[in-house]
Structure 1
Amino acid sequence: MENINELIKDLHLDTHLLLEDIPDIDLYMDQVIQLFEKKFAPTKRNEDEKILTKTMVNNYAKGRLFFPIKNKKYTKEHIMLISMIYQMKSVLSINDVKNSLQTLNNKLTDEEEFNLDALYENYLELAENNVARFLDDSTALSHKIFMELKDQENPDANYFQQLLLVASFANMSNLYRRAAEKIVDGMNEEQKKKD
């Protein structure tokens, strides 16, 4: 596939909700939704896709994916958690996301101070590293597929290259999802032992 670089550029992989994007004041739900819509608009698959809706946020709150809000306002910590939920929910079940964040939510509601900013910065740094690794892997994979099919006298060679890329990306996604689920299962077991 000759236009892998164009495809990667269209993904807007460098789009993350940074700490400096999050206001220091508490926000109402509409403001939170606007913040996410503005930041993640380039990542939409199509114009009809919604980044975040009131229903989604209400479901996260009812499902206890983040600690309770006060006075209908979301703190900076809530927004960081919603950002993490936004990324994880496309791969993991809502229950797995909840289980992953349970200990963190408990720490945020305990009497002691917990610095979520530092953890979130680590998360963003890992996300940047993941993008770099993805770019390298995607380019290498595309090149390998192109080299394997380039000598074939097939008018559908481009289609087969694209098909193999789709299958490979789906396979890699499945491998990472399964690994994440296994880690969540381990987290659940650890929590049960503590309880």
Structure 2
Amino acid sequence: MGRLDQFMEGLDLQHEISLTDIPEIDLYMDQVIQLFENHFKDTKRNEDEKILTKTMINNYAKAKLFFPIKNKKYSKEHLLLISLIYQLKGSLSISDIKETFQGINKMIVEEESFELEPFYHSYLQLSKENTVHFKKDIQERAAEVDKEVAKLETEKSDYLRKVMLITSLAHISNLYRRAAEQLVDEIMEEQNGKKEIK
């Protein structure tokens, strides 16, 4: 891909809602939407794309992806969970996300000792590491694609290089998604008492 550095810069990979981005006060739905829109606006593919809408939040609530809100306001814990849901929704189904967070929601509601912030902080740390690994990996994938396309000896090499990189990245994405789904299935088995929880 000749302009790999420029391509990587255009991906805008450093977008996560940090703990300091979230106010200590509870927010109404419109304020939640505004927070996400402001924070993730640079990640949109086009102007029509919506980051978060009332319908999305209502659907998440109906599907019980997060514990019930009080007085039409969303707490810091709700915002952290919505942020995690936002990251997962591109890879997992709503039912898989529900199964994934069911135990966390239960711990938040039933165990006053459980704090979501340290968990979320660890998630952010892993996200930074993932970004570093991703940048290295995509450079390696692009180099492998270049080698394969060079064997084709065609005038359409730039186009075919992009198509091959798209298919390669989509394949890797599918492998990671399948691994994540397998872990969701394990959580479901554990919650149903079919498997010993470790």
TM-score band w.r.t. shorter chain: over 0.9
Residue 150 (structure 1) shift: 3.9
For 2:111 and 2:182, the matched residues in 1 are separated by: 31
- Higher mean displacement: 118-127 or 107-116: 107-116
The one-letter code of the counterpart of 1:86 is Y
Give the unaligned 5+ runs of structure 2: none
- Higher mean displacement: 155-164 or 93-102: 155-164
Q: Provide the TM-score with structure 1 as the length reference.
A: 0.96
RMSD across aligned C-alpha pairs, in angstroms?
A: 1.3
For 1:190 and 1:154, the matched residues in 2 are separated by: 53
For 2:108 and 2:166, the matched residues in 1 are separated by: 40
The one-letter code of the counterpart of 1:69 is I
Residue 7 (structure 1) shift: 1.8
Aligned twin of 1:30: 30
Provide, for residues 149-186 of structure 1, a one-character-per-residue CA deviation record: whole Å limited to 9, x for no partner: 34754210001110110000000000000000000000
Aligned twin of 2:73: 73
Aligned twin of 1:100: 100
Aligned twin of 2:116: 116
Aligned twin of 1:41: 41
The one-letter code of the counterpart of 1:128 is K
Aligned twin of 1:185: 185
SS of structure 2 residue aligned to 1:193: coil
Q: Which has the higher contact order (CA 8 A, sep 6+)?
A: 1
SS of structure 2 residue aligned to 1:66: coil
For 2:149 and 2:7, the matched residues in 1 are separated by: 20
Number of aligned residues? 194
Residue 4 (structure 1) shift: 2.1
For 1:193 and 1:151, the matched residues in 2 are separated by: 53
Residue 111 (structure 1) shift: 4.2
Whether 1:53 and 2:59 are equivalent positions in the alignment is no
The one-letter code of the counterpart of 1:149 is V
Provide, for residues 33-61 of structure 1, a one-character-per-residue CA deviation record: whole Å limited to 9, x for no partner: 00000000011011100000000000101
SS of structure 1 residue aligned to 2:71: coil
Whether 1:128 and 2:128 are equivalent positions in the alignment is yes
Change (3 A) 1:151 1:168: closer
For 1:135 and 1:97, the matched residues in 2 are separated by: 26
Q: Provide the TM-score with structure 2 as the length reference.
A: 0.94
Provide, for residues 47-95 of structure 1, a one-character-per-residue CA deviation record: whole Å limited to 9, x for no partner: 1000000000001011100000000000000000000000101110000
Residue 112 (structure 1) shift: 2.4
The one-letter code of the counterpart of 1:53 is T
